Amino acid sequence: MTETATRPAPPATSLPRRALPALLGYVEVRALGLAVLAVWSAARGTSAHKLLSARWDSLWYARVAGAGYGHEVRLPDGDVHSDLAFFPLLPWLERLLHAVTPLSYADAGLAVSALASLAAVGGIFAVADRLYGARAGVCAVLLWAVLPVGIVQSMAYSESLFTALAAWSLFAVLSGRWVTAGLLASFAGLTRPVGAAVVAAVWVAAIASSRRTGSTPGAPRAPAWRRVLGAALAPLGAAAYVLWVGHRTGDGLLGYLDVQAGWRNGFDGGYAFARFVAAMLTAFPSALAGIALILGVALLLRLYLAGVRQRQPLALLVYSGVVLALALCASSYFGSKPRLLLPAFPLLFPLARALARARPARAALLTAALAAVAALYGALWLNGSGPP
């Protein structure tokens, strides 16, 4: 029998109290990850603080926050890396926090990421709690925290900020708050290119709701003008930035795509990624990593299909499907794909439901083991190849 996706929503006033165990558990996992990173980095003579705040994309965000757009790096092969590839909401917040506190731009980025990760935890819990109950909500948050690349949630990167905006936008959709959903989707579109996933979720859910397909079961039926307004607001953030980049570069609507091409980023349906994996399979020991990648992709697809079978709301299926497609089918740097999948939290819901049904002692032991593995992997990863 197909499972029902939605349960009665808890009272809004009880949500902070219900989310407290999830927040505390998340803080404990992140504290463990940061402690292991600090010890590992000290043993290698590197700076954990620098790894978190002033390397890779963090440098680009801090530079935009301090000096605005206009910086680019020309590589020997002719590629041009322009800071226009980075969406503006995170550097705007870094600049604001720098202006009102003694924090540097880099440390402001860390502070924004830390606060945003807590907001993301609240949003993930709120969505899972509404659908499956508080215990599943706690499990969903903990699974998000113990992802192998979960250390990115503590970096001066935009993943935590984007996930927070996406999660609360989806919660607004599920609870019938269409204008709020559209506004949050618009801010998500100012954060990362994958903001398109939130826009698509709001649009599809609004259309389905207008046709009474039950895409947001349990939500109060809002007036049509609220759905239309929410859908109209959703793409404004991303559209405004893309149009501004086109105007600045003089290339019109194609300007942002040209900027991404300078970073060798594009959408090829997964062809480049498939070639990358195939090349890994031709030699040992890289073949082991190639097999692991194939199994990882298979697991992601299986989790998505499990969400379909469990009748997740349409907004969540659209959102996680677009995040999956953009991450796996882009021709970007292949090492960044796990990081790009961090916002796809609805994929964790089938696992969270299973963990919530397990005996508490067994669930706690498994979560602790995963947290330890994630902490060790995060320290190894950042002291090695790391993001971008």
Domain ranges, ordered by start, for the chain: 12-382
Closest CA to 326 of 203, 195, 172: 195
Mean pLDDT of all residues in 38-60: 95
Per-residue pLDDT, 53 = 95
Least confident segment among 98-107, 212-221, 335-344: 212-221
Under 8 Å between Cβ of 288 and 294: no
Judge residue 240's burial from the number of C-beta atoms within 10 Å of its C-beta, 0-12 exposed, 13-18 middle, 19 or more buried. middle
Mean pLDDT of all residues in 11-19: 77
Q: What span, in angstroms and rounded, lies between the C-alpha atoms of 159 and 118? A: 12
Per-residue pLDDT, 314 = 96
Q: Please determine, for residue 332, whether its predicted confidence score (pLDDT) is greater than 80.
A: no
Taking only the tens place, the pLDDT of each residue in 83-126 is 999 999 999 999 999 999 999 999 999 999 999 999 999 999 99
How far does the chain reach from its first CA to its final CA, in angstroms? 43
pLDDT confidence bin for 217, thresholds 50/70/90: low
What residues contact 203, with CB distance under 8 A and at least 6 apart?
A: 231, 234
E strands in 152-244: none
What is the rounded average pLDDT for all residues in the chain?
Answer: 92
Mean pLDDT of all residues in 70-74: 94
Percent of the chain predicted with pLDDT > 90: 77
Per-residue pLDDT, 2 = 41
Q: What span, in angstroms and rounded, lies between the C-alpha atoms of 142 and 25? A: 7
pLDDT confidence bin for 222, thresholds 50/70/90: confident
* Predicted model pTM: 0.94
Q: Please determine, for residue 1, whether its predicted confidence score (pLDDT) is greater than 50.
A: no
Per-residue pLDDT, 304 = 97
- Tell which wins on pLDDT, 244 or 12: 244
pLDDT confidence bin for 81, thresholds 50/70/90: very high
Per-residue pLDDT, 284 = 79
Say how many C-beta atoms besides its own lie within 10 A of residue 162's C-beta. 29
Q: Please determine, for residue 206, whether its predicted confidence score (pLDDT) is greater than 60.
A: yes
DSSP assignment letter at 330? B
Per-residue pLDDT, 220 = 61
Per-residue pLDDT, 345 = 98
Mean pLDDT of all residues in 354-376: 96
pLDDT confidence bin for 8, thresholds 50/70/90: very low
Mean pLDDT of all residues in 241-255: 92
Per-residue pLDDT, 3 = 44
Least confident segment among 142-146, 195-199, 251-255, 375-379: 251-255
Under 8 Å between Cβ of 97 and 108: yes
Per-residue pLDDT, 218 = 57
Q: What span, in angstroms and rounded, lies between the C-alpha atoms of 256 and 105? A: 25
What residues contact 110, with CB distance under 8 A and at least 6 apart?
A: 52, 53, 154, 155, 156
Whole-angstrom CA distances from 195 to 25, 169, 191, 374 are 28, 11, 7, 27
Amino acid at 362: R
Mean pLDDT of all residues in 22-34: 98
Residue 93, token pair as written in the block? 């917040």
What residues contact 369, with CB distance under 8 A and at least 6 apart?
A: none
Residue 74, SS3 per DSSP: strand
Whole-angstrom CA distances from 361 to 118, 356, 357, 358 are 25, 11, 11, 8
Per-residue pLDDT, 215 = 44
Taking only the tens place, the pLDDT of each residue in 273-325 is 888 888 888 887 878 888 988 999 999 999 999 999 999 999 999 999 999 99
Per-residue pLDDT, 231 = 97
Closest CA to 248 of 48, 47, 71, 32: 71
Mean pLDDT of all residues in 243-269: 90
